[in-house]
């Protein structure tokens, strides 16, 4: 198969290790066409299917069906029955492994229908490369099978020979080593080169690209052939907004309050939510604006943490808390375990999957609400559109699973900036 693209108006991409679709959403928004999303987590697959259904309904002018589903007027099965099978079939629920490759290739080939694939995007699970993951592992993640998922990624490059690929992962990839002491990044670049690709990478911070969050990631881009200096120019976006703008139009709720079903937002006079693609129109309803319940002890700690920031711009460490509130045995590590998402700063702390376990590291800046963030607020930090819905495997809404999918995602606006720059380069290549 030769690499390249034949249709100047339609560039096809394959989404590997898709998660709930943050990376894919940015490429779709930039004008790329998804052939398939491959993901092992069932809940995330349903999120991808529901998002694919949303895009089809919007294109067909039938968005009222989507609104009925979010309002629980339709079951998920009834909702999916109103969507063409071919739309839902873009989502392939597979763990990418040596055993599943041929089945995945068969499904992707069927969807391509003999047309070339222009692009592959995706990043394998990051736990094995992350510094935090290695620090928690007795053997520093050495030998963990997730270290070698890039080899399976390479199998897709060999088979489909896209002109470009985008490989996303954590900054810890720069220092992660194999059992023989060699760097995984060097090994994967050497393998990609054997597949016919030159590669270049940069460390990008989402906060430089219109995301109100400090989130550093390695974005490695491969191009078929030996040409160097091809990394697309990705224009940075000035930091002109504060984190509080993410929350100002959402209904005020207390710990344990809110609902997962749609609630209208209040009038919004700002610009960021529209510029970033989070909101489409004023007073747009949102789902999953539901806060965790908290113990009185947690709420007392939250008040102290928020008050210290608002009055003194101080981050309280765990040992700064009154003795009667220090109930954890670990008093030497993770001392910033309680942290406010400061509304007066241009960037929030990195949203991670741990937010699915507790919200202590993501305390709402409004002391009158005194709670941790809702999934919708976390999704906004990740620049997911307000009309993005996060599914469970069972069909019953799950705040925990929504948090997990949001924390594992690539910020949509970062993805869009990368995709837009790459689209411009592909169009230039294809002239």
Buried b (16+ CB within 10 A) or exposed e, 310-341: beeeeebebeebeeeeeeeeeeeeeeeebbbb
Tell which residue, 126, 175, 162, 165, has the closest CA to residue 147: 126
Contact 133, 126 (CB under 8 A): yes
Q: 126, 195, 347, 417: which one is catalytic? A: 126
Contact 11, 31 (CB under 8 A): yes
What does the block give as tokens for 28? 């779709």
Owner of token pair 């309904």: 57
Annotation says 126 is catalytic: yes
H or E segment at 400? helix 399-407
H or E segment at 149? helix 149-160
3-state secondary structure 280-320: CCCCCCECCEECCCCCHHHHHHHHHHHHHHHHHCCCCCHHH
Contact 159, 186 (CB under 8 A): no
Other C-beta atoms closer than 10 Å to the C-beta of 196 total 15
- Residues noted as catalytic: 126
């Amino acid at each position: 198969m030769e690499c390249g693209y034949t249709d100047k108006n339609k560039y096809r991409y394959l989404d590997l290790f898709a998660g709930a679709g943050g990376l894919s959403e940015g490429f779709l928004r930039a004008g790329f066409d998804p052939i398939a999303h491959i993901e092992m987590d069932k809940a995330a697959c349903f999120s991808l299917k529901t998002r694919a259904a949303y895009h089809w309904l919007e294109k067909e002018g039938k968005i009222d069906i989507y609104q009925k589903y979010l309002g629980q007027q339709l079951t998920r099965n009834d909702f999916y029955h109103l969507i063409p099978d071919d739309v839902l079939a873009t989502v392939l629920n597979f763990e990418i492994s040596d055993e599943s490759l041929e089945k995945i290739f068969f499904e992707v080939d069927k969807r391509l229908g003999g047309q070339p694939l222009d692009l592959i995007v995706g990043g394998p699970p990051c736990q094995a490369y992350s510094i935090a993951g290695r620090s928690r592992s007795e053997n520093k993640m050495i030998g963990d099978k997730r270290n070698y998922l890039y080899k399976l990624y390479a199998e897709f490059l060999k088979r489909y020979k896209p002109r470009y690929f985008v490989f996303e992962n954590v900054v810890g990839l720069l220092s992660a080593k194999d059992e023989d002491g060699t760097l995984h990044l060097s090994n994967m670049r050497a393998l990609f080169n054997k597949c016919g690709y030159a590669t270049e990478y940069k460390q990008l911070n989402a906060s430089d690209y219109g995301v109100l969050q400090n989130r550093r990631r390695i974005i490695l881009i491969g191009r078929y052939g030996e040409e160097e200096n091809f990394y697309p120019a990705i224009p940075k976006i000035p930091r002109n907004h504060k984190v509080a703008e993410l929350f100002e139009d959402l209904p005020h709720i207390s710990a344990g309050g809110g609902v997962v079903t749609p609630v209208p937002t209040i009038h919004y006079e700002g610009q960021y939510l529209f510029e970033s693609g989070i909101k489409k129109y004023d007073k747009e309803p949102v789902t999953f604006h539901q806060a965790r319940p908290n113990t009185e002890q947690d709420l007392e700690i939250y008040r102290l943490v928020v008050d210290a920031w608002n009055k003194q711009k101080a981050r309280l460490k765990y040992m700064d808390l009154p003795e009667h509130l220090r109930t954890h045995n670990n008093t030497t590590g993770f001392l910033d375990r309680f942290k406010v998402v400061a509304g007066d700063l241009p960037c929030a702390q990195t949203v991670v999957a741990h937010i699915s376990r507790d919200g202590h590291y993501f305390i709402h800046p409004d002391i009158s609400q005194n709670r941790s963030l809702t999934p919708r607020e976390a999704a906004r930090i990740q620049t997911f559109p307000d009309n993005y819905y996060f599914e469970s495997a069972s069909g019953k809404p799950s705040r925990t699973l929504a948090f997990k999918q949001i924390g594992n995602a690539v910020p949509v606006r970062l993805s869009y900036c990368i995709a837009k720059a790459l689209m411009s380069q592909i169009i230039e290549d294809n002239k």
